[in-house]
Amino acid sequence: MTATHDLHALGQSLWLDNITRPMLDSGTLARYIAELDVTGLTSNPTIYDRAIGGSDAYDDAVRSSVDAGATPEQTFFDLAIADLVRAADLFRPAHLASGRVDGFVSLEVSPLIAYDSDTTLADAKRLHALAGRENLFIKIPGTPEGLVAIEESIFAGVPINVTLLFSPAQYVACAEAYTRGIERRVAAGLDPFVPSVASLFISRWDAAVTDRVPADLVLKLGLAVGGTAYAEYVAFYETPRWQALLAKGAKPQRLLFASTGTKDPTASKTLYIDGLAAPDTVNTMPEDTLLALAESDVTINALPTDGSAARAMLARFEEAGISIDGLGLELQQKGAEAFVKSWASLMTRVTEKAAAVASA
């Protein structure tokens, strides 16, 4: 047995934070599904920037899209949706076996519209319909502005991966937006089941405070944030409010631990994997982290549901001068800015690739 199997048996879904066309063509993704218990994946502009620029696998598709008069943005979505549809079909057995809560792939809306809730909602509907796969999430940032689009998208029945959540408070605000969308569906007589995940970013916390806290607190903030958010997650869905929704056929928005590759070269590659093992959650990890986990002999123990130790650790960081809510907001804002930069880089990459294949 492997650690990936142990996590799967615990009830946590292992998703890959990567997708490329060569990974699909070579059968690598299919092997990860068969051998390493992978049941979903996520994508983002940075992943596609590297994938398109790093091989000639997309050249023919770029040429066809450009010949059809597509803009760089349209060309990107053509490429990404083609890949994600193939991946979604590979995950369809896991999707059906899980009662349609697992086996998802994710596609991000343009971050340039992230602060326009109406446009985000319209694009979420369009992209999901264009892909034509029920096990495709549309990623929307969980910023204050994004929460409006998230609630409206859930009410509209669009499966959503809420991204760019950092603090436990941001997670709870996201869970509230999701719940309002579900409650509105119930009131309107609609099916209350709309799959969704709430992606909490972990590793950036430790990277942000390494030089600002005592040595005994280094590499402990990300796990404390994750453990606290997990306790909030468990408590939120045990409330009478949610018990009533469960009775009507609704299902919780699953907590997803994102950014779980370690950024500190001295840390264990599986620090944020075995440290955040929790039933009924998701951990989406980089490819090298997945492979390291498969080769490791770590013991998998479930996270406590009360969160007392995690909250006590957060209190120690507050005493050391780290505002959890303040830093969480800063990380979210910087994350949003980084997404815009990644998007701009991706559009430049697609434009350059289009020019290269045209001249060839």
Look up residue 183 and give its two tokens: 């409650």
- According to DSSP, the residues that pair with 243 across neighbouring strands are none
Residue in this structure with the two tokens 């940032």, named with its chain if needed: 141
Determine contact, residues 59/357, Cβ cutoff 8 Å. Answer: yes
Compute the chain's Rg from CA coordinates: 20
196-201 vs 254-258, strand pairing mode: parallel
CA atoms of 152 and 154, how far apart (whole Å): 5
Look up residue 310 and give its two tokens: 């995690």
Look up residue 13 and give its two tokens: 């879904």
Is the alpha carbon torsion for 303, 309, 311, 315 positive or negative?
A: negative
Q: In what order do the strands lie in the sheet with 282-285?
A: 38-41, 13-16, 282-285, 254-258, 196-201, 160-165, 136-141, 105-108
Look up residue 257 and give its two tokens: 């631990």
Distances (CA, A) of 112 to 42, 77, 146, 297: 20, 15, 12, 43
CA atoms of 168 and 174, how far apart (whole Å): 10
CA atoms of 326 and 166, how far apart (whole Å): 11
Instruction: Report DSSP letters for 256-287, one per residue.
Output: EEE--S--STTS-TTHHHHTT--TT-EEEE-H
CA–chain centroid gap for 304, Å, is: 22
CA atoms of 227 and 168, how far apart (whole Å): 9
Residues labelled as active-site residues: 139
CA atoms of 256 and 279, how far apart (whole Å): 11
Look up residue 87 and give its two tokens: 């991946």
Look up residue 120 and give its two tokens: 């985000």
